[in-house]
């Protein structure tokens, strides 16, 4: 993930060059395809994800101001994603192809832990206390960043999904019986 940004009154945060591992261990919980509307709905479970990257944070958790930038490390468990792929048919030279025009993402994360290096200009004692405060108030952070996380996932997934189906015809993707 190249960039992720959250900007609201309590939390201003951004992440860059975020590497995600564990995503290949996903489980498909359900999958449905509506051939009339070319809408694909899939529910996925990612048992465990690990994130590493760079962050910048300016936030207030309860009464504690948090500010810093540096390395981000996080682990999340039981991450669920409900994705809806909205498709359209593109005709080129008389051949029909599928292109995804939009993806909706609804993401829930059962639990996570995060460690941010570089808080309070690298002060270890304050940094450890701040990381503890962040992890004790995970719900607040997740609520504030969820819309931006979902948008980032949908945008990146749209690009990847269209690269996967590029050059495949409608009949190849959805063969008729």
**Domains of the chain, start order:** 3-173 (3.15.10.30)
Structure tokens given for 110: 């059962």
**DSSP annotation of 8:** S
**DSSP annotation of 122:** G
Provide the pLDDT for residue 10: 64
Q: How many CA atoms lie within 13 A of 67 on its CB side?
A: 3
Provide the pLDDT for residue 59: 78
Residue for token pair 């468990």: 77
Q: Where are the alpha helices (DSSP H) in the chain?
A: 124-136, 138-165, 170-173
Provide the pLDDT for residue 37: 93
Provide the pLDDT for residue 133: 84
Provide the pLDDT for residue 137: 85
Residue 72 CA: distances (Å) to CA of 58, 80, 115, 118? 14, 22, 6, 9
Residues for the chain: how many in total?
A: 177
Provide the pLDDT for residue 13: 77
Q: Return the percent helix, strand and coil in the chain, to nearest 5.
A: 30, 55, 15
Provide the pLDDT for residue 176: 82
Q: Tell me whether residue 37 is exposed, middle or buried, using C-beta atoms within 10 angstroms of its C-beta: 0 to 12, 13 to 18, 19 or more.
A: exposed
User: What is the residue-level pLDDT of the chain in tens, covering all 177 positions?
Assistant: 555 555 555 677 788 899 999 999 999 999 999 999 999 999 999 999 999 999 998 877 666 678 899 999 999 999 999 999 999 999 999 999 999 999 999 999 999 999 999 999 889 999 998 899 889 988 887 887 788 889 989 999 999 999 999 999 999 998 887
Provide the pLDDT for residue 61: 64
Provide the pLDDT for residue 113: 96
Provide the pLDDT for residue 7: 52
Provide the pLDDT for residue 12: 77
d(CA 97, CA 161): 13
- pTM equals 0.81
């Amino acid at each position: 993930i190249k960039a992720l940004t959250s900007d609201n009154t309590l939390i201003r945060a951004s992440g860059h060059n975020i590497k995600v591992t564990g995503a290949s261990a996903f489980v498909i919980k359900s999958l449905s395809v509506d051939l009339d509307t070319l809408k694909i709905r899939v529910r996925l479970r990612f048992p465990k994800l690990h994130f590493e990257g760079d962050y910048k944070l300016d936030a207030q958790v309860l009464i504690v101001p948090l500010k810093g930038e540096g390395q981000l490390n996080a682990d999340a468990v039981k991450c669920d994603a409900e994705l809806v792929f909205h498709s359209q048919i593109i005709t080129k030279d008389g051949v029909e192809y599928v292109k995804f025009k939009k993806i909706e993402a609804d993401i829930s994360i059962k639990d996570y832990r995060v460690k941010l290096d570089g808080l309070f200009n690298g002060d270890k004692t304050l940094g450890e206390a701040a990381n503890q405060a962040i992890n004790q108030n995970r719900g607040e952070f997740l609520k504030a960043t969820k819309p931006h996380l979902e948008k980032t996932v949908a945008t990146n997934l749209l690009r990847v999904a269209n690269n996967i189906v590029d050059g495949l015809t409608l009949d190849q993707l959805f063969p008729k019986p």
